[in-house]
Amino acid sequence: MTNRKSRLKSAGEFERVFREGKRRQGRWLGLWFLPSATESARLGLVVSKRCAKRAVDRNTVKRILREVFRDQALSLPGIDVVFRLRQQWPSEERKALAEEARGMLRGLLA
Count Cα neighbours of 75 within 13 Å in the Cβ-side half-sphere.
12
Could you give all domains of the chain from N- to C-terminal order, each with its CATH number? 4-109 (3.30.230.10)
Q: Could you read off the pLDDT of 19-46 as tens digits, one per residue?
A: 999 999 999 999 999 998 888 899 999 9
Q: What is the pLDDT of residues 56-100, one digit of tens each?
A: 999 999 999 999 999 998 888 889 999 999 998 887 889 999 999
The C-alpha atoms of residue 108 and residue 42 are separated, in whole angstroms, by 13
